[in-house]
Amino acid sequence: KQEVTQIPAALSVPEGENLVLNCSFTDSAIYNLQWFRQDPGKGLTSLLLIQSSQREQTSGRLNASLDKSSGRSTLYIAASQPGDSATYLCAVMTTDSWGKLQFGAGTQVVVTP
């Protein structure tokens, strides 16, 4: 069974620092991996989707890498801002459970002014 782990569980950085969020998964037979942002009591906003054939995806200040062989993905957020404060979730879709997202527990990020 696929297990998804996110470390650290919480992170606090001063504004302007780069953020590095980690996601690891146990089954490398994945279809894709997706990063989401969730604000308190709100829905999930999709940030980046990486297909299994890709190594990375970029959108503005966000960059996500994928290393299937080691079962890891990293989300980088450059020059963090207080508005980046949220919980970040990674979710994996495995090839034997097409369509189903297996979520990590999330990393709660606080960016202080």
Complex with another protein: residue 14 or 41, whichever CB lies closer: 41
Q: How far is the CB of 25 from another protein (least distance, A)?
A: 14
Q: Which is nearer to another protein, 29 or 79 (CB)?
A: 29
Residues within the interface to another protein (CB under 8 A): 31-32, 34, 36, 41-46, 49, 89, 91, 93, 98-101, 103-106
Residue 113 burial by CB count (10 A; 0-12/13-18/19+): exposed, middle or buried?
exposed
C-beta of 100: minimal distance to another protein in Å? 6
Q: What is the nearest approach in angstroms of another protein to the Cβ of residue 17?
A: 27
Instruction: Look at residues 53, 52, 49, 46 and name the one whose alpha carbon lies nearest to residue 64.
Output: 49
- Considering only the C-alpha atoms of the chain, give the largest distance between any 2 of them, rounded to a whole number of Å: 44
Nearer to another protein, 65 or 97 (CB): 97
Q: Which is nearer to another protein, 36 or 80 (CB)?
A: 36
Q: How far apart are CA 105 and CA 36, in angstroms?
A: 12
Type of residue numbered 76: Y
CB 10, CB 19: distance < 8 Å: no
CB of 13 to another protein, least distance (A): 23
